[in-house]
């Protein structure tokens, strides 16, 4: 069955807002193919960034009048999954929850979307994002791969994992998406323990706090065992590369 991208985008947008109703800014999910600077990129299946809404605005018909959270995705990479419709829907929702978790965890709304920017900032960000997105993972040097893994580790830390697991639980509960596993929503990150372990240490917090705003959740401490797991992962990353237990970099 052919993929209906507009329907998937609409459904995922609705799910994200249902899962985080206290987030004030609108969400738009946009195919990278529509954005000239991202066409043909090789690095990401999806991403978000604090000024991405300003970059994509000229290329979408339903852009809100003010600032918004923008998520871009690569249709070709998703089509390569080659999975049935039900599995595709679950993985698609997990992917969007993953990206929205970044927006929530990095406080896009309070720290970035209300901020006025100097002239030229949007063009600068677009150029930088396009350069990063067009890096070929297969052509990285050992040093470049190590730097990329460090960036991936720190941008998918315990704060991110916590928010992502909460979003996945809410999507399952409110929106009947079917099972979204920790590995689907958090993905595998070099040097970080498997998402299943983080979910086990987080325990029933996503269920207990399903009605809480994310600002309140993030302002509170997670279970001690959850934080300790990430601290152990951080310490392992301090071991020289040849002695580490690092996982392979995901494709």
Residues 93, 150: one domain? no
Please give the residue range of the domain that contains residue 197.
141-241
Residues 111, 47: one domain? yes
C-alpha 29 chain-centroid distance: 12
The answer to the question of residue 84 being in a domain is yes
- Give the total number of structural domains in the chain: 2
Residues 128, 160: one domain? no
DSSP type of residue 178: -
* C-alpha distances in Å from residue 66, one per residue of 18, 27, 63, 98: 20, 11, 8, 24
The answer to the question of residue 205 being in a domain is yes
Burial class of residue 16, CB neighbours in 10 A (0-12, 13-18, 19+): buried
Q: What CA–CA distance (Å, rounded) separates 103 from 52?
A: 11
The answer to the question of residue 250 being in a domain is no
Q: 110: Cβ–Cβ under 8 A, 6 or more apart, which residues?
A: none
pLDDT tens-digit profile, the chain (251 residues) = 578 999 999 999 999 999 999 898 999 999 999 999 888 887 899 999 888 998 999 999 989 998 899 999 999 999 999 999 999 999 999 999 999 999 999 887 777 777 665 555 566 566 666 666 667 777 888 888 888 888 889 899 999 999 999 999 999 999 999 999 999 999 889 899 999 999 999 999 999 999 999 999 999 999 999 999 999 999 988 754 433 333 333 33
Residues 12, 102: one domain? yes
Residues 16, 51: one domain? yes
The answer to the question of residue 249 being in a domain is no
How would DSSP label each residue in 141-174? -HHHHHHHHHHHHHHTSHHHHHHHHHHHHHHHHH
Residues 127, 50: one domain? yes
Residues 64, 160: one domain? no
pLDDT tens profile 86-128: 999 999 999 999 999 999 998 877 777 776 655 555 665 666 6
Residues 116, 20: one domain? yes
The answer to the question of residue 246 being in a domain is no
Domain finish residue from 138, 165, 184: 138
Q: 199: Cβ–Cβ under 8 A, 6 or more apart, which residues?
A: 165, 182
The answer to the question of residue 33 being in a domain is yes
Q: Where are the beta strands (DSSP E) in the chain?
A: 27-31, 46-48, 69-73
Residues 113, 146: one domain? no
The answer to the question of residue 150 being in a domain is yes
pLDDT tens profile 211-239: 999 999 999 999 999 999 999 999 988 75
Residues 168, 98: one domain? no
The answer to the question of residue 247 being in a domain is no
Nearest Cα to 19, choosing from 167, 216, 125?
Answer: 167
Domain finish residue from 89, 107, 138: 138
Residues 53, 117: one domain? yes
Residues 200, 129: one domain? no
Q: What CA–CA distance (Å, rounded) separates 189 from 8?
A: 26
Domain finish residue from 115, 138, 161: 138
């Amino acid at each position: 069955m052919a993929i209906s991208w507009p329907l998937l985008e609409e459904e995922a947008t609705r799910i994200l807002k249902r899962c985080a109703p206290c987030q004030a800014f609108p969400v738009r999910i946009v195919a990278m193919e529509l954005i000239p600077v991202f066409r043909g990129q090789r690095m990401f299946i999806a991403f978000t960034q604090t000024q991405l809404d300003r970059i994509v605005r000229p290329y979408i018909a339903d852009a809100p009048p003010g600032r918004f959270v923008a998520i871009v995705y690569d249709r070709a990479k998703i089509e390569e999954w080659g999975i049935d419709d039900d599995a595709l829907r679950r993985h698609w929702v997990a992917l969007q929850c993953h990206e929205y978790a970044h927006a929530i965890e990095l406080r896009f709304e309070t720290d970035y979307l209300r901020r006025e920017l100097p002239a030229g900032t949007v063009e600068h960000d677009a150029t930088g994002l396009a350069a990063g997105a067009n890096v070929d993972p297969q052509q990285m040097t050992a040093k470049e791969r190590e730097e990329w893994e460090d960036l991936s580790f720190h941008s998918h830390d315990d704060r991110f994992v916590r928010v992502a697991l909460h979003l996945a639980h809410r999507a399952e509960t409110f929106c009947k998406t079917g099972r979204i596993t920790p590995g689907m929503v958090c993905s595998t990150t070099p040097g970080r323990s498997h998402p299943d372990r983080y979910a086990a240490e987080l325990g029933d917090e996503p269920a207990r706090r399903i009605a809480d705003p994310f600002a309140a959740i993030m302002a509170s401490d997670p279970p001690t065992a959850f934080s300790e797991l990430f601290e152990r992962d951080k310490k392992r990353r301090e071991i020289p590369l040849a002695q580490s237990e690092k996982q392979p970099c995901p494709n």
